[in-house]
Amino acid sequence: MTTEKYFKGDVFHTPTDGKLEFLEDALIQIDSSGIITKVTKKGDIDYQSACEHADNVITLSKGACFLPGFVDLHVHAPQWPQAGIALDEPLNVWLDECTFPLEAKYADTAFAQTVYEDLVAQLLARGTTTVLYFATIHLEASFLLAKICVEKGQRGLVGKVVMDDSQANPDFYRDASTDAALQETEAFIQAVQGLAESAHQGVYPVVTPRFVPSCTDEGLAGLGALAQKYDVHVQTHCSEGQWEHDFVQERFGKTDTEVLKDFGLLKEKAVMAHSNFISPKDGDLFIEAGAAVAHCPISNAYFANSVIPIKRLKDQGVTIGLGTDISGGFSPSLYDNIKQAVMSSRMLEDGVDVRIEQSDRGVPDSRISVVDAFSLATKGGGDALRLPIGVIKEGYAFDVQVIDSQCKDNPLPDFGVFTTPEARLQKILYLATMQNIRQVWVQGKKVHEK
């Protein structure tokens, strides 16, 4: 009995950063564990015979195509009920008055179950196949989120959040003590690694200090040691806004990046949300450590007090992916964040204040293209997490979204004018909605269908 499966259709992806590759009517072969074993392109000498010999083929209809599933590098799962709420407040007020009271509710696992099941389904329906999640300080509800990812077929990387400084956090929402925070983090790592044994698409524990201001020195050092001991992923917020950047500088006399490095938290498989204020020297520390930036452009428009120079950091060699930052970012869609990443970069390049001469108004050479942003949402995410995802090629997981550009509810007609592959992808990235996302597959399993 054959265990292979085949898929046939047009493919858009960026196997090299920012460089679009279009494969017309490619034949994609996957094995029984959902890994791509071969991609045969029209024009390859064995294309005709490969197509004739393939059985079990799922062939896309005219006007449909495969995109890699999106990788969301920064989601606060418990904040899903808060999406779109109180965004007029500065970050610290928003956190204290809205977010922390909400996150405290996840002591109740029934509430957690309702929210987390909805969120995971909503993200899958928007083409997001892998997510790096902050949960809350609660061990039980954090583990529940990992279980829900496994059940729904999403590749989840989940962290129990640590906020162990009793001076910095409200009594109603903080770890009982530094020791308790570290013990629970270790128990969480072990529990998720146990769960991973039966998770087809993988599930991963993540060491998750909320951010430097909410943790003690002992807490940060202990988390760095755990990250090393178990060789697991790390996530936190780094130099997000002016307040955080200045706070860390005052407390340690160093940048956020330097502090995270000193505590052993800037490492391979570490993803630092935002990182808007990092200097070129900090960028070098990211590169040396193998750490990555999660760029969250919608959230940054509200809370960052700045626009991150993505182009400069990318040119420097920093690994960067994209995040929604639900709910600092109101949208659960990486499509929306792709657009915002492009728009923010354009505003950085041109500048915004017309009282300043045009020649001095912006930051030259800052813009990124929509293909660059698509690349961040796919390959960039895979590179950041050090997982074989985000590209449709041999050895990678078959994580895809099937986009239908001719669906009744939101057709994307080109009127026979803009028919090049580049134009077709641009139209999808700018105009596709959930209606166009026909199917979503994670590691060879269908996890969403419209």
Q: Using CB under 6 A, list all residues that contact ligand GUN.
A: 76, 91, 95, 99, 210-211, 237, 240, 299, 303, 325, 328
39 binds, among Fe ion, ligand GUN, none (CB under 5 to 8 A by kind): none
Name the minimum Å distance from CB 137 to ligand GUN: 12
Name the minimum Å distance from CB 427 to Fe ion: 31
219 binds, among ligand GUN, Fe ion, none (CB under 5 to 8 A by kind): none
CB-nearer residue toward Fe ion: 275 or 378 = 275
Name the minimum Å distance from CB 211 to ligand GUN: 4
195 binds, among Fe ion, ligand GUN, none (CB under 5 to 8 A by kind): none
CB-nearer residue toward ligand GUN: 99 or 257 = 99
Instruction: Find all residues with CB under 8 Å of 72, minimum gap 6, and list them.
Output: 123, 128, 130, 131, 132, 322, 323, 324, 334, 381
Residue 197's Cβ-count burial label (10 Å; 0-12, 13-18, 19+) is exposed
Name the minimum Å distance from CB 84 to ligand GUN: 14
Name the minimum Å distance from CB 90 to ligand GUN: 11
CB-nearer residue toward Fe ion: 14 or 299 = 299
Contact pick of 10, 184, 256, 325 for Fe ion (by CB under 5 A): 325
133 binds, among Fe ion, ligand GUN, none (CB under 5 to 8 A by kind): none
240 binds, among ligand GUN, Fe ion, none (CB under 5 to 8 A by kind): ligand GUN
99 binds, among Fe ion, ligand GUN, none (CB under 5 to 8 A by kind): ligand GUN
User: Cβ distance 436 to 407 under 8 Å?
Assistant: yes
Closest residue to Fe ion, based on beta-carbon distance? 325
211 binds, among Fe ion, ligand GUN, none (CB under 5 to 8 A by kind): ligand GUN
In the shown chain, the binding pattern of residues 262 to 301 toward Fe ion, with x for contact by CB under 5 A and - for none, equals: -----------x----------------------------
CB-nearer residue toward ligand GUN: 214 or 439 = 214
232 binds, among Fe ion, ligand GUN, none (CB under 5 to 8 A by kind): none
Closest residue to ligand GUN, based on beta-carbon distance? 328
267 binds, among ligand GUN, Fe ion, none (CB under 5 to 8 A by kind): none
The C-alpha atoms of residue 55 and residue 51 are separated, in whole angstroms, by 8
Name the minimum Å distance from CB 163 to ligand GUN: 9
CB-nearer residue toward ligand GUN: 91 or 440 = 91
Name the minimum Å distance from CB 142 to ligand GUN: 15
Any contact of residue 399 with Fe ion (CB under 5 A)?
no
CB-nearer residue toward ligand GUN: 186 or 325 = 325
Name the minimum Å distance from CB 257 to ligand GUN: 15
| Phi, psi of 132, deg, nearest 5 | -100, 110
Two tokens, residue 25: 């009517």
Name the minimum Å distance from CB 165 to ligand GUN: 13
Q: What is the 3-state secondary structure (H, E, C) of the chain?
A: CCCCEEEEEEEEEEEECCEEEEEEEEEEEECCCCEEEEEECCCCCCHHHHHHHCCCEEECCCCEEEEECEEEEEEEHHHHHHCCCCCCCCHHHHHHHHHHHHHHHHHCHHHHHHHHHHHHHHHHHCCEEEEEEECCCCHHHHHHHHHHHHHHCCEEEEECEECCCCCCCCCCCCCCCHHHHHHHHHHHHHHHHHHHCCCCCCEEEEEEECEHHHCCHHHHHHHHHHHHHHCCEEEEEECCCHHHHHHHHHHHCCCHHHHHHHCCCCCCCEEEEECCCCCHHHHHHHHHHCCEEEECHHHHHHHCCCCCCHHHHHHHCCEEEECCCECCCCCCCHHHHHHHHHHHHHHHHHCCCCCCCHHHHCCCCCCCCHHHHHHHHHHHHHHHHCCCCCCCCCCCECCEEEEECCCCCCCCCCCCCCCCHHHHHHHHHHHCCHHHEEEEEECCEEEEEC
Instruction: Provide the binding-site residues for Fe ion, judged by CB under 5 A.
Output: 273, 325
